[in-house]
Structure 1
Amino acid sequence: MSGYGDERRLDRAADAEQRRIDQAAADTRRIEREKAADERAARLQDQRQAERKQARQEKARLRVERREARGEALTAGNVYRKGTLALVTASALGSLPAQVLHFAGISPMLLPLPLAIEGAAWVMAAGVAYADERHLPGWVRWFLRLLVVAAAGFAASINYTYGTHLPSLSEPDRQAAGIGLAAVTLLGPLLFEIRQWVTTLSAHTGTPEDRERRRHERKRRRQHRSIALLADRFVSAAPFGQLDFEEAFAHAWEIETGTSTPGMTPKLHQRAARSTAALAHAQRPPANLVQRRTGRLFLRRPIDPTHTIESPDTPTKRSTADLGESTPAPVLPAPVVIDLVKPTKPAPVAVVAAESTRPRRATGRVPAAARSSRPARTAEQLLTEARKATVDWTDRELTAEGIRKAVHTSPAKARVLRDTLRAEREQSAGTAEAAA
């Protein structure tokens, strides 16, 4: 009996556990369904927001496009062109009925005449526009304009006659009606011709860059007429489209002036050379030492040649490379000031050149007979003379400048001799130390 009750309890416990598991699974499925529903609702909400945002952007883009279209449509050129066409249409609608009534009153068979007369005026006006577009000769345009004036004038005379004979009107009203019909008949072709004239001028004028280019072309042809004519000859001689005018102009400039630099001529090259020489002469230090200032004459005393003699403590024989620093400029004595404003006793003042111990340098080419006949010395001879001249010199006095003055050679050879003599002395000192 106890065994049966235990089994019943176990069965009930198993059933309860199964129901709990089933309930948990049902709750899990319900939660998943709710989560999926929430995610689907969120996606739909995001999609609706994206669609609304896209719709707003599309409306904004359409508004911008409409605003730009209105701006382009309301430009001065469009308003002028479209307004002129509207006035021309109003002119045709105002003049054509009077002609139709006039000819219909005469005979119904004359009804095509108004259309022919008015149509002839407008067709000839369109012919003027076509001639401008195709760049036809000027006489073609003026012939078409003459036909326009003839057709429009005949139509205006008919409208004036019709307006002045209108019944049930006073005489001033008839006169005003006739003048108005005649004016509106002539106004349409006149406005159309003015529109075409303005359009042609605008097309010829172009952008500001085009105007500047045409102005430059006219100025160049005016200032360089012969070169431009020669360039035109080159262009006409070459096959069509193979030679550009700019290349031909550059070639013609080189032929006429001898230079490939635009704008330069032989005279300008001479002026440039003279200016360069004048600048170099102006930047060169003055040869004399006479300077004139306001009311005073400054005369510098000649340099005493005794100041150039070297002392054992001053390295005057050393070159710039030996010194390792720039040699300071020699200090000149104070200038002697001579007051010329109020001279006490008139006396002639002679300005002489500064005395110099060096012989005067020959100016210009020296003739062959006056040249020195001293043969060129070899490197060994120069080295021998340098050894003899510097045998009693100290290492401090052994400089390139001193060697140059002693053996009368060039600075480059003097530097080579200096290095050679220094190397020999170092070698001799090293040999003596080794022997000791």
Structure 2
Amino acid sequence: MSTYREEKRRDEQLRAEQDREDRRLELEAKLAYKRQLAEDERLEKERKAEQARKDGDLKRRQEQAEAKRRQEEKARARAARMAKLGRFARWLNANPVTVFVAFVMASSVIPAVISQVGALGDTGVHVLLAALLAAMLEGGAWAITFMGKAAEDAGRPAAKYRIATWCTAFVAAAVNYWHWAEKLPKAQWVAVVFAASSLFAIYLWDMKTHGSHGKTREERRAEKARREHLAKRRKDHKDIAKEADRLLSALPYGSIDEEEAFAAAWRIHRGAEPGLSPELYAKATDAKVALGAAFKLAEGVSPEIVRAGMLARLYNPLSDGLGGPLSALGRTVPAQALQQAPGGATAQAGIGSLAIDKADENARRNASDSASGNAVKGRTDEELEQLLPEAHKVATELVAEGRQISAAALASRLKIRREDAVKLRDRVIAERKLHLVG
């Protein structure tokens, strides 16, 4: 019996412990659930707060972008306005005449229209009809004016438009004059002023669009000179001018102009460029032959004649030059050299007299001694042949300076021995003499 009770008591104790454990576990589960709920609520709050922050940042960035866009649009609009103002200012600077003409034209047209409205209104015409009729007169004149401007710009005849414009303007002026002449019979000048207001704007526009046309004084002078030149050409060269006209009529229109046709006709008749002829070429050739013959004179020819012949080369009328004996002498001898005391025809060419100066004679003697073995040998003939072009160049420079061609000068400028310079001098003089008399 006791055993049953003890077992029962143990069972009750076990159940009690189990109940306590169950309650503990249940309490822990509730606590854990509450903690989880609290954690979930905290996380949800943090998520919402983060989302709110992100939404705020996005909204702030959008507002900043929108503000920046508005500022850029304002800046672009301001830049566009400034550009328009700049273009308008540049246009004003470039077209001051147009601005003042437009102002004066408006000051002329508006009183004319008001005057015509008053003139028609005084006759009993309704003011609206009077305004329309006045606009018909003044507006019609300007409509025809702009139609004429468009036709003129397109290259079409505009005379009929200008005539119609002036006719309409005179009708409007007559209306204004009639009205004010009756209204103010003692002040006829007022009628004249209002009549002129209908004409002055048209006159001013006509002066602006046509007054600046035409040729300048220089262009008129050039055109007059051209006509005089063509008239003199036809008078002096009738046969060639007639041939040029035939060429112009035979060839396709615009393929050749008057100058080209005359040049072609001249070549056909004269066989030379315009202005020249076989006779002129013959005269020039005869003169050059005579000039070459003058240089073939003996040593005793008058120095003045030689100097005159060389000066004639400076005033050669032919630009191309036909050659001649002087072309072999290099550059033209300066006037200072020609004014020096001459020594004959060869002296004018820088060759000097036929006698050899004492220094060159000594140099020649030294050269002979060198050839016999008494001194150091000079340059070979091949080396001297290579120096010959340089020697000719130095000789030309000496002639241009008005000096004689000497061995001393050649030796100094070519940096060679005097004996070698003597040989080069003899070669240069011999060749220049051949050119002079050839």
User: Which has a greater percent of helix?
Assistant: 2
Q: Normalized against structure 1, the TM-score is what?
A: 0.49
TM-score by length of 2: 0.48
